[in-house]
Structure 1
Amino acid sequence: MIVVQFSSLESALKHFFGYDVFRPGQKQIIEEAINNRDLLVIMPTGGGKSLCFQLPALLKPGLTIVVSPLIALMQDQVDSLQDNGIGATFLNSTLDYATERSRQQAILQGKIKLLYVAPERLLNERFNPFLQQIVSHVGVSAIAIDEAHCVSDWGHDFRPEYRQLRQLRQQYPKIPITALTATATKRVQQDIIGQLRLRQPNVHLASFNRPNISYEVRAKDSNSYYHLLQAIKQQSGAGIVYCLSRRKVEEVALKLKNDGIDALPYHAGLSDRERANNQTSFLRDDVRVIVATIAFGMGINKPDVRFVFHFDLPRSLESFYQESGRAGRDGEAAKSVLFFSFGDLKKIDYLIAQKPDINEQRIAKQQLNQVVDYAEGTTCRRTIVLRYFGEIFSGNCSNCDNCLNPKPTEDWTIEAQKFLSCVARCEQKFGMRQIIDVLRGSRSKKVQQYGHHLLSTHGIGKNKTLDEWKMLGRSLLHQGLLSESNDGYRILKLNKRSWEILRKQKSVTVAINKPANSQVNKAYNPRQAEAEILYDKLKVLRKNIADLQSIAPYVIFADSTLKLMAQLQPKNATEFTKISGVNQHKLQQYGEQFLSIIQEFVRSQELPKPLPSKSQMTTLQLHQQGLNITEIAEQRGYATTTISTHLSELLEMNQPVALNQLVTAEKQKLIIDAIYVHGDLSLKTLREFLGESYSYDELKLVRGWWRSQK
């Protein structure tokens, strides 16, 4: 097979996938994959893992084999690749004999670059002769093992068949292996490397932070279904509701349907056919909401899920992260809401007690308590989640309920010193409850048994309630000022920062659980409103095309690409292909239909251009006399930002402003390129993309000119 040569990886990215820039970490991984390195890639959901093996597959000779555990994921990724004009297929149990033979022939003829298979099939003796034919006829350039955490019994979704993949290294020692997963603790990372026998792999650990997801916890009571219904009605787009039991899934799905929400259930009790049909309906936007059991994962790759609501408590923070992470895989704004009640806690406690192994019970209990700590935490939710994965996040995330509605803070340094001193005097051998009992002067059997009633810290915290001390203990853990063991016992341990507090080198501020309100009213933006109307029209067109082709709408164009179309309103094929997410193949397939809708909408919205104000005309006259922005501002007694705004608005009105005197031609081009990637609504986003060498004035002026061309 002939491999197309490209001047850069970016040009290959645009050619195959329509995108102009890589996401963080992708380019280095792809370069190493092209150089045949073994790799372990830990990248959160929505971070772009798939591209890390898909693009190298297209740039190297031979076939890349992708190991995937779920039929739905194979189908989804193959649909997306084929819609980009890429040779990809899968072989699994859903195919009849004729279809399978046809696909095998296409593979041996070199028409396929990516083959998706389940681990059972890849290792099956009957499949081995065909695999040998692939190796000898077209060659295997790499093996990519998706969901690699399944190889480890320390992972959250261990699958014994994945363990057998170690045979691949022995059978094909020269073929590089890339293992990919969304989450893996250090222990799981080591297990993946050992089990798959990776050779000196480069390990790429991306941030677990999903900044586009807004986190919120709501109290769950007798009216919670009504609150759930209202929350869904307030959200746009598709969503998932997780429940603890099959019965609850059926009950909530039926209630939502009766209340006018297109919803379907999804759980292990359904027949394979019904479950597959329900999932397909969700993927294709025929229904808006899927209600699913927490224990039974969705296993979907739908990028445009806008919300995930946990109506019941998840069993661990890792499960919560995985499930909430199914929202916003496309990088667009998404919402996670956890409905929390202690009634759910008792239900899960009962289920844990049914486990036959005492150690399993203990660890499951610790994992559950970590979820409770998250739900009752007063600090930034993102800080709590990321700390679980060993990642430090400090400060205000501005995208969770605790940060958007901050609780009042107080200096609790003295209380923290008492707490940590008690941990030290108890020889760092006990959990939080024992420490609090000692501080509050308890004479319980356990306190006296260990002689803790004789400690100097006994009773020094009587002035605080049990809940207040628990709040402090959680805050110390969440801020990384205290550590705990991860063996199920939750033993508190002092760390370096703990000793800084005890030595009076560090103060402690705690968010206090008292109501505080903070409402932010956004100003009406007519341009944004116009873009939203066009975006809805483009979504309808996309859905109609998807239905005709029997594929999911997001396979055609991502939501982010539609939003850029709505903002930028391209006038012709050249402008259409500049939009991030559009390549030549997509232009040929869909360009005429989408451009037609956009042009019709633009014509319907056309209004006479506004005339410059008297103040703007004065600025224009001074500009035409050769004065720069600073000189005009000084002469008129205005801020320079006011003058740059005048000039950008004049440019938008097609007034004779000499843009080349204000912004260099090179910068103009790069700013316009950035607009095609990120849209023209946010100057902040453009500056973050381009860097600090571009001033807001320059961005504003070029944007004004760009808008005048519409």
Structure 2
Amino acid sequence: MSEFPHLERALKYHFGYDQFRPGQRQVIEAGLQNRDLLVVMPTGGGKSLCFQLPALIKGGLMVVVSPLIALMQDQVEALRNNNIPATFLNSSLNQYQVRSREHAILNGKVKLLYVAPERLVSDRFLPFLDLVQHQVGISAFAIDEAHCVSEWGHDFRPEYRQLILLRQRYPKVPTFALTATATDRVRADIIQQLGLREPTIHIASFNRQNLYYEVREKNKGSFAELLELIQDTEGSVIIYCLTRKKVDEIAFKLQHHQLSALPYHAGLSDEERSKNQTQFIRDDVRIMVATIAFGMGINKPDVRLVVHFDIPRNLESYYQESGRGGRDGEASRCTLFYSYGDVKTIEYLINQKPDPQEQLIAKQQLRQVIDYAEGTDCRRVIQLGYFGERFPGNCGNCDNCRSPKPMQDWTIEAMKFLSCVARCKERFGMAHIIDVLRGSKNQKVTQYEHDQLSTYGIGKDKTVDEWRMLGRSLLHQGLLEQTSDGYAVLKLNALSWEVMRKKRTVSLAVPVVQKISWKERSSKAEAAEMLLMRLRSLRKNLADQQSVPPYVVFPDSTLRLMAQVQPQSLEEFGKLSGVGSHKLAQYGEKFIHEIVAYRQENTAKSVNSQVNLGNGGNFPTETELLTLQLHKQGLSVEEIAEQRNLRPTTIIRHLADLIDKNQPVNFDLLVTPEKQQKICQVLDILGDISLTPIKEYLGNNYSFDEIRLARGKWRRNHKS
């Protein structure tokens, strides 16, 4: 039996959740036993709870080290909204506010204190900590984003190295180190640099099952594809670019297409960056276009699309940045646009580094990104393999698994490749092996007399790209290994010899040029959409009144439960996941009132909504009928969207579906007859395909909305 049987009760009371996520309970129990902890949990895995709940149960103050002002303010807002006594001390406060908060801490009125590492180890702050330890006690130090302590991580912060002072100054106070990403090397560094003593180590799977990963070729039509991705997404969007110039360019173009987008990069003033970030977090702006300067510690749980319009510098950064999607566990999409031109740009930047060892590491990291982008295996196999986690493949939620390429037997080619690695005495990288196989006469091949090897020239029938694709697949399948010292030298293993001795076959997924579509994940329970929209509107109003982000009131997942379950009493409402005791008292009656009002209106309309349903059983939904009613009153798309508190793209989708369902939509008010005729002619040629190729065919004078609407009419006319 557990030493802490009442943890679930505390979890529901403070945070509103009925059960722990995998691994959380074990970590929390170890923390309550005053053990040092190293917790590696992916973004959205619930790592904050691993120190927040112990802080509420243990005596004294939990000191949380957090690297960014935005992150600590965000977390403190969310905790206070659950009636949890938390505060922060940082440079955004004046002297009076600092003194007032310090006074509350010394009087035992605060359970969690968030502070930046620079302040924590300062000469002014350490004596205050001594006083806290003496008067109320320190329950633990929680080092969030602990990978920042390691030079081998992706966000190294030198000031994190000074945190070893805490262990020396307070040897009996446990330290909890928490991070979302850490390779073996980084984990070892965290333990050493923070002086952790025999820590309880918990490493959760890095697999974010709710994220759909895809890679698309970047070309002149990619911006049109980006627009379509945004049109098909319900929720917030982050777009990452490599340079400030590209960020400004993409943000400007999106604004030109009437999309609410803001830039974020180091070239903006602190005030402008902070303002843009706040607008994004509070749902006043839907799209953030950013360099990697944006994101670490952004706690927005409802990002539904993360686009890398340029390739990232390394896989760890990509995992972290793409992982900002779907932190609430709901389905989200991660799209990477890839081009050889981006590779050349990053190679140029790497060559500017003064330290040769840094250049080597950066080049190896870039090769891993290229492997990922050009790989034909399951994206998760490649991504999780980077963190030392074996994944069997066939995830069912990436482009390579959803649209698998045809498999071909490449055993003979694999034997040639591995044999060439052996003949070159396992001392060279992939490019050299391919040169030998293809019979290159370059200086390096002749210098080592590899033009004399039996494998020289035996692979002329395959292109460099085909051999590279095979080499990468051999690495991903574990049939070949590569050194991690920056030089990426190929090494054989036991499985390599099995292939060469004809005891193991090798199959290769061969890419096919095709358009990948992602339809089935974006629409959920249309019947509850109307109520969900009303609940979102109520949540936004309540959040604005308190000047907090909407998700601090309730996360999307809890709103969806409300829309599905439709609780009628405080008792029913309190049973929902995400509704704790404080939020039940603070918001319960307001949301129940909205739900009851919706049900009454819905009942009154249910008889009337059977009128004008059209023929053939292809009936409009209630939300479409409401849009149709306003359309008949002569309101524009924008006016309907504003009145219904929906996005114009949602109204366009309603109207397109209404046209498809033979409803009386005045089509000429939406698209000019000339454009209707032209779009229908193109559809006659191309058929019923996705919007992007149609737009590419028609050019910039035609919007996605016009094409979507005309396609609805075209579909109706082509029904049998």
Amino acid across the alignment from 1:125: D
Q: Distance in 1 between matches of 2:457 and 2:152?
A: 41
**Which position in structure 1 is the counterpart of 2:529?**
532
Q: Distance in 2 between matches of 1:378 and 1:601?
A: 49
- Among 373, 391, 394, which residue is 1:396 paired with? 394
Sequence identity percentage: 64
2:141 is paired with a residue whose SS is strand
Amino acid across the alignment from 1:499: W
**Which position in structure 2 is the counterpart of 1:408?**
406
Q: Give TM-score, length-normalised by structure 2.
A: 0.81
Could you tell me whether the CA contact under 8 Å between 2:87 and 2:112 is conserved in 1?
Answer: yes
**Which position in structure 1 is the counterpart of 2:154?**
156
Q: Distance in 2 between matches of 1:341 and 1:265?
A: 23
**Structure 1 residues 92 and 294: CA distance shift in structure 2, 3 A:** closer
- Among 578, 582, 606, which residue is 1:585 paired with? 582
- Among 549, 552, 563, which residue is 1:552 paired with? 549
Give the C-alpha shift of residue 524 in structure 1. 12
1:313 is paired with a residue whose SS is coil
Q: Distance in 2 between matches of 1:524 and 1:56?
A: 37
Q: Distance in 2 between matches of 1:109 and 1:557?
A: 31
- Among 172, 175, 178, which residue is 2:176 paired with? 178
TM-superposition CA deviations, 1:218-270 (whole Å, max 9, x none) = 11112322221221121111111111111111111111112111111111111
**Which position in structure 2 is the counterpart of 1:601?**
598
2:178 is paired with a residue whose SS is strand
Matches within 5 A, 1:307-386: 307-386=305-384
**Which position in structure 2 is the counterpart of 1:653?**
none
**Which position in structure 1 is the counterpart of 2:636?**
none
**Which position in structure 1 is the counterpart of 2:241?**
243
Give the C-alpha shift of residue 295 in structure 1. 5.1
- Among 255, 261, 265, which residue is 2:263 paired with? 265
- Among 106, 118, 121, which residue is 1:120 paired with? 118
Task: Write out the 4+ residue segments of structure 1 that deviate beyond 4 Å after TM superposition.
Answer: 295-298, 516-525
Q: Distance in 2 between matches of 1:273 and 1:564?
A: 37
**Which position in structure 1 is the counterpart of 2:143?**
145
Matches within 5 A, 1:619-630: none
Amino acid across the alignment from 1:604: E
Give the C-alpha shift of residue 516 in structure 1. 5.8
Give the C-alpha shift of residue 515 in structure 1. 3.6
**Structure 1 residues 456 and 472: CA distance shift in structure 2, 3 A:** same
**Which position in structure 1 is the counterpart of 2:573?**
576
Amino acid across the alignment from 1:603: Q
**Which position in structure 2 is the counterpart of 1:197?**
195
Give the C-alpha shift of residue 451 in structure 1. 2.1
Could you tell me whether the CA contact under 8 Å between 2:244 and 2:265 is conserved in 1?
Answer: yes
2:333 is paired with a residue whose SS is strand
**Structure 1 residues 64 and 218: CA distance shift in structure 2, 3 A:** same
**Structure 1 residues 212 and 524: CA distance shift in structure 2, 3 A:** closer
Could you tell me whether the CA contact under 8 Å between 2:4 and 2:29 is conserved in 1?
Answer: no
Q: Distance in 1 between matches of 2:534 and 2:186?
A: 46
**Which position in structure 2 is the counterpart of 1:669?**
none
Q: Distance in 2 between matches of 1:355 and 1:140?
A: 43
Amino acid across the alignment from 1:314: P
**Structure 1 residues 523 and 559: CA distance shift in structure 2, 3 A:** closer
Give the C-alpha shift of residue 311 in structure 1. 0.9
Asked if 1:461 is matched to 2:459, the reply is yes
**Structure 1 residues 540 and 134: CA distance shift in structure 2, 3 A:** same
**Which position in structure 2 is the counterpart of 1:451?**
449
Give the C-alpha shift of residue 517 in structure 1. 7.4
**Which position in structure 1 is the counterpart of 2:421?**
423
**Structure 1 residues 437 and 196: CA distance shift in structure 2, 3 A:** same
Further displaced range: 59-68 or 94-103:
94-103
Give the C-alpha shift of residue 503 in structure 1. 2.9
Give the C-alpha shift of residue 217 in structure 1. 1.0
Consecutive unaligned residues in structure 1, runs of 5 or more: 609-710
Could you tell me whether the CA contact under 8 Å between 1:408 and 1:516 is conserved in 2?
Answer: no
Give the C-alpha shift of residue 531 in structure 1. 1.8
Give the C-alpha shift of residue 593 in structure 1. 1.1
**Which position in structure 2 is the counterpart of 1:15?**
13
Could you tell me whether the CA contact under 8 Å between 1:407 and 1:515 is conserved in 2?
Answer: no
**Which position in structure 2 is the counterpart of 1:302?**
300
- Among 22, 25, 29, which residue is 1:24 paired with? 22
Matches within 5 A, 1:69-88: 69-88=67-86
1:49 is paired with a residue whose SS is coil
Could you tell me whether the CA contact under 8 Å between 1:23 and 1:48 is conserved in 2?
Answer: yes
**Which position in structure 1 is the counterpart of 2:562?**
565
Q: Distance in 2 between matches of 1:524 and 1:186?
A: 36
Give the C-alpha shift of residue 499 in structure 1. 2.4
2:525 is paired with a residue whose SS is helix
Asked if 1:207 is matched to 2:220, the reply is no
Could you tell me whether the CA contact under 8 Å between 1:406 and 1:516 is conserved in 2?
Answer: no
Could you tell me whether the CA contact under 8 Å between 2:399 and 2:516 is conserved in 1?
Answer: no
Give the C-alpha shift of residue 464 in structure 1. 1.7
Q: Distance in 1 between matches of 2:121 and 2:356?
A: 35
- Among 540, 544, 547, which residue is 1:543 paired with? 540
- Among 431, 434, 447, which residue is 2:432 paired with? 434
2:128 is paired with a residue whose SS is helix
Could you tell me whether the CA contact under 8 Å between 1:61 and 1:141 is conserved in 2?
Answer: yes
2:156 is paired with a residue whose SS is coil
Matches within 5 A, 1:215-230: 215-230=213-228
**Structure 1 residues 505 and 517: CA distance shift in structure 2, 3 A:** farther
Could you tell me whether the CA contact under 8 Å between 1:212 and 1:333 is conserved in 2?
Answer: yes
1:279 is paired with a residue whose SS is helix
Q: Distance in 2 between matches of 1:501 and 1:24?
A: 39
Give the C-alpha shift of residue 343 in structure 1. 1.3
Amino acid across the alignment from 1:602: R
Could you tell me whether the CA contact under 8 Å between 1:148 and 1:192 is conserved in 2?
Answer: yes
**Structure 1 residues 12 and 170: CA distance shift in structure 2, 3 A:** same
**Structure 1 residues 358 and 76: CA distance shift in structure 2, 3 A:** same
Q: Distance in 1 between matches of 2:465 and 2:245?
A: 34
Q: Distance in 1 between matches of 2:520 and 2:219?
A: 31
Aligned residues: 603
**Which position in structure 2 is the counterpart of 1:612?**
none
Give the C-alpha shift of residue 573 in structure 1. 1.0
Further displaced range: 230-239 or 219-228:
219-228
1:355 is paired with a residue whose SS is coil
Further displaced range: 502-511 or 265-274:
502-511
